[in-house]
C-alpha cells in the first residue's frame, strides 16, 4: 500500500540511516501504543469533486507549511503501449516537456524552478504521472501550465528525434549496462505469456528506435484527456479553495472519447520457470523467486491484505523469517527480503530474494530460502508474527500520513488503477483486521503450485566482444528526470 513501484522491484537490502531507523522505531512504538485510533481516523481523510469535463480532483489538507504537492495521474501506462510500439507511453512522458503554443519548450521547468518549486514525472505499467511541489501562492501557475499541456502539446520532428535518442541512451545505461536489470527484463518476459507486463516499461530497443512523431501524437490524443486523469493536490489548501482554481484551468479542457482500457487474460502458469544470467560485471550474486499473486484489482483481490502481512513476515526487516534464518542463524546470506505490490491492474507477485555470502553457492542458498517458504506455506505464521507485522505496517502508514508528497502518490496511484478513495482510506482498518488464519490460507494458495519463477544472477561468463557490448551512454536525462 505504501510503496510506489515504478521501474524495478525494491532493493534486496535497503540502506537506512540512523535517523530513518530512529523514526521507524518511534512510529512503531506509536502504533504499538495506540493502533486503534490510527486506524479509526482513516489514512488521509481526502475531499473529492469532479469537474464537468470528467476530471476527478482529490484534495488532502495539511496546513503545517504553505506548500502543496500537485500531481496529475493519467490512466494509461506501458501496459497500454500498442503492439510493436513498446516504450511509447514513456517517450510521451519525456516529450510532455517540449512545450505548447503558449509555453515554449523548457519554459515549464524554468517557471517551476524560478518560483522555488521542484517537478518530475514517471511512467509505470498502469499509469503516467506528473508532479510539482511548490509554494501555495504559486499553485495556480503550475495548474495552468499542466492543464495547458494536457490538451495543447505540440511536437515536431526536431523535438522527437533527439528525445528518442535520450530514451535509447537511458535504456542503455539503466538496462543494457546493468546485469541485474537485464535479468529483471528477461524475468518479466518469462513470467507472462500474454499480458503486456511482459514488455519493459522503457520499451524494446528496436521498437523505441522506430517510434515516429505521428505515433506519439496519436497516443497522446487517444489517452490524454481530463476524463482519463486524476488531479491530486495535498498541502495548504482545501476543496473549497481548490475548486475555482481547477475550474478556470483544467475546466477549460474538453472531455473527449477515451477507449476502454484492455485487460488481457494471462493464462494459468502450468510449469515452473527459471531464468539464469552469468555476467562478469556482476559484483553481488542474487537468488530470487516470485509467486504469481492477486492484486487489488486482479484475481482474488480480497487476499491482498493478508498477502501484505505475509510479505512483511517473510522478509520485512531484520526480525523477519528470511533475514533471521539466512543472514543471522545460518550465515548463508548478506541480505534477504521479500515484497508484494498489490497496486496493479493486472497480476502481481509475492517475491523473495537473497544475496549469498562469499563462497556460498546460489543453489544452497536457494534451497535454504525455499525451505523457509515451504514451512510458511505448510504451517503458516504465528499469532505473534501477524500481530507484529500489522503493527509495523500501521506505523508505516502513520509515517505516510505525515508527508504531503507521499499522500499524493498513494492516493493518485490507487485511483489510477481503479481503487476507490474508500478502499484507500480503509487500508489501516483492513490490515488491522487480518487474521493468522487468513495469512496462512493466502500463503498456502500463493506459495505452492507451479506459478513460480526463479532467478539466478551470478558472476561469470565470457566478456562481451566490442560488437556485442552496448555502447557507453552519453550524458542524458534519465527516465523521470527533468528535461
Q: What is the mean pLDDT of the chain?
A: 89
- Give the alpha-carbon dihedral of 237, 238, 241, 247, to 10 degrees: 110
pLDDT of residue 475: 29
In this prediction, residues 464-481 reach a mean pLDDT of 38
Residue 355 class from Cβ within 10 Å (0-12 exposed, 13-18 middle, 19+ buried)?
Answer: buried
Average confidence (pLDDT) over 21-29: 38
Give the separation between CA 429 and CA 35, rounded to whole angstroms.
10
Whole-prediction pTM: 0.88
Is there a contact between 451 and 269 (Cβ–Cβ < 8 Å)?
yes
Give the separation between CA 397 and CA 408, rounded to whole angstroms.
Answer: 13
Helix axes 404-417, 383-401, angle to 10 degrees: 110
Tell me: the pLDDT tens digits for 222-279? 999 999 999 999 999 999 999 999 999 999 999 999 999 988 889 999 999 999 999 9
Of 272, 452, 300, 317, the C-alpha closest to 373 is: 452
In whole angstroms, give the CA distance from residue 354 to residue 240.
50
Residue 372 sits at φ, ψ, to 5 deg, of -65, -45
**Sign (positive/negative) of CA torsion 468, 472, 478, 483?**
negative
Give the model's pLDDT for residue 20: 34
**Nine cell digits for residue 80:** 497500454
For residue range 335-387, list pLDDT tens digits in order.
Answer: 999 999 999 999 999 999 999 999 999 999 999 999 999 999 999 999 999 99
In angstroms, the CA 307 to CA 323 distance is 18
- CA 9, 278, 333: angle at the middle one, nearest 5? 60
Give the strand pairing for 286-293 and 118-123. Answer: unpaired
Q: How far apart are CA 174 and CA 164, in angstroms?
A: 15
Which of 18, 72, 27, 5 is CA-nearest to residue 397? Answer: 27
Q: Give tens-digit pLDDT for 279-332.
A: 999 999 999 999 999 999 999 999 999 999 999 999 999 999 999 999 999 999
At residue 119, φ and ψ (nearest 5 deg) are: -140, 165
Contacts of 257 (CB under 8 A, 6+ apart): none
Burial letters for 366-390: b for 16+ Cβ neighbours within 10 Å, e otherwise?
bebbbebbeebbeebbeeebbebbb
Adjacency order of strands within the sheet including 452-458 = 273-278, 452-458, 286-293, 348-356, 333-340
Picking from 115, 396, 66, 60, the residue whose alpha carbon sits closest to that of residue 230 is 60
Sheet holding 56-61, edge to edge: 47-50, 56-61, 229-235, 67-74, 128-135, 118-123
Q: Grade residue 473 by pLDDT with cuts at 50, 70 and 90.
A: very low
pLDDT tens sequence across 165-192: 999 999 999 999 999 999 999 999 999 9
Specify the pLDDT at position 264: 84
Could you give the percent of the chain with pLDDT greater than 70?
87
Active site residue 349: no
Q: Which of 188, 208, 212 is CA-nearest to residue 200? A: 188
In the set 83, 93, 247, 272, the catalytic residue is 93
pLDDT at 462: 54
pLDDT reading at 334 higher than 90: yes
Give me the domains of the chain, ranges plus CATH numbers.
47-252 (3.30.830.10), 268-458 (3.30.830.10)
Name the residue among 336, 399, 395, 404 with its Cα closest to residue 365: 336
Question: Would you tell me how many other CB atoms lie within 10 Å of the CB of residue 178?
Answer: 17
- Grade residue 460 by pLDDT with cuts at 50, 70 and 90: confident
Contact between 266 and 193 under an 8 Å Cβ cutoff? The reply is yes
pLDDT of residue 461: 67
pLDDT for residue 399:
83
Amino acid at each position: 500500500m505504501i510503496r510506489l513501484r515504478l521501474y524495478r522491484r525494491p532493493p534486496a537490502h535497503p540502506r537506512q540511516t540512523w535517523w530513518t531507523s530512529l523514526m521507524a522505531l518511534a512510529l512503531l512504538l506509536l502504533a504499538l501504543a495506540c493502533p486503534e485510533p490510527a486506524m479509526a481516523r482513516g489514512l488521509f481523510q481526502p475531499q473529492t469533486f469532479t469537474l464537468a469535463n470528467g476530471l476527478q480532483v482529490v484534495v488532502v489538507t495539511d496546513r503545517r507549511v504553505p506548500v502543496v504537492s500537485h500531481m496529475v495521474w493519467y490512466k494509461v501506462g506501458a501496459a497500454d503501449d500498442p503492439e510493436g510500439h513498446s516504450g511509447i507511453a514513456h517517450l510521451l512522458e519525456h516529450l510532455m516537456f517540449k512545450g505548447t503554443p503558449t509555453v515554449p519548450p523548457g519554459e515549464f521547468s524554468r517557471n517551476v524552478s524560478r518560483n522555488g518549486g521542484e517537478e518530475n514525472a514517471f511512467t509505470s505499467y498502469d499509469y503516467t504521472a506528473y508532479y510539482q511541489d511548490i509554494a501555495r501562492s504559486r499553485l495556480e501557475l503550475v495548474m495552468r501550465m499542466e492543464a495547458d499541456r494536457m490538451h495543447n502539446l505540440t511536437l515536431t520532428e526536431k523535438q522527437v528525434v533527439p528525445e528518442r535518442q535520450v530514451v535509447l541512451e537511458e535504456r542503455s545505461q539503466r538496462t543494457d549496462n546493468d546485469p541485474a536489470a537485464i535479468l529483471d527484463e528477461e524475468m518479466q518476459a518469462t513470467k507472462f505469456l500474454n499480458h503486456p507486463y511482459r514488455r519493459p516499461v522503457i520499451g524494446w530497443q528496436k521498437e523505441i528506435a522506430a517510434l515516429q512523431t505521428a505515433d506519439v501524437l496519436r497516443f497522446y490524443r487517444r489517452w490524454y484527456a481530463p476524463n482519463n486523469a486524476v488531479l491530486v493536490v495535498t498541502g495548504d489548501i482545501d476543496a473549497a479553495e481548490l475548486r475555482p482554481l481547477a475550474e478556470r484551468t483544467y475546466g477549460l479542457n474538453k472531455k473527449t472519447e477515451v477507449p476502454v482500457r484492455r485487460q488481457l487474460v494471462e493464462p494459468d502458469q502450468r510449469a515452473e520457470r527459471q531464468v539464469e544470467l552469468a555476467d562478469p560485471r556482476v559484483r553481488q550474486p542474487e537468488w530470487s523467486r516470485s509467486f504469481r499473486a492477486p492484486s487489488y484489482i486482479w484475481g482474488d483481490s480480497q487476499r491482498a491484505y493478508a498477502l501484505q502481512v505475509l510479505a512483511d513476515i517473510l522478509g520485512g526487516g531484520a526480525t523477519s523469517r528470511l533475514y533471521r534464518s539466512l543472514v543471522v542463524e545460518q550465515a548463508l546470506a548478506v541480505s534477504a527480503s521479500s515484497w508484494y505490490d498489490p497496486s496493479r491492474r493486472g497480476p502481481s507477485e509475492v517475491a523473495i530474494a537473497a544475496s549469498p555470502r562469499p563462497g556460498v553457492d546460489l543453489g544452497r542458498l536457494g534451497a535454504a530460502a525455499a525451505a523457509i517458504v515451504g514451512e510458511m506455506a505448510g504451517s503458516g505464521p504465528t499469532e505473534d508474527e501477524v500481530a507484529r507485522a500489522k503493527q509495523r505496517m500501521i506505523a508505516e502508514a502513520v509515517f505516510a500520513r505525515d508527508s504531503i508528497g507521499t499522500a499524493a502518490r498513494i492516493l493518485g496511484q490507487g485511483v489510477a488503477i481503479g481503487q476507490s478513495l474508500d478502499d484507500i482510506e480503509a487500508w489501516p482498518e483492513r490490515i488491522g483486521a487480518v487474521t493468522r488464519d487468513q495469512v496462512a490460507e493466502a500463503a498456502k494458495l500463493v506459495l505452492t503450485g507451479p506459478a513460480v519463477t526463479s532467478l539466478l544472477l551470478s558472476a561469470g561468463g565470457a566478456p562481451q566482444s566490442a560488437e556485442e557490448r552496448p555502447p557507453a551512454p552519453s550524458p542524458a536525462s534519465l527516465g523521470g528526470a527533468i528535461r
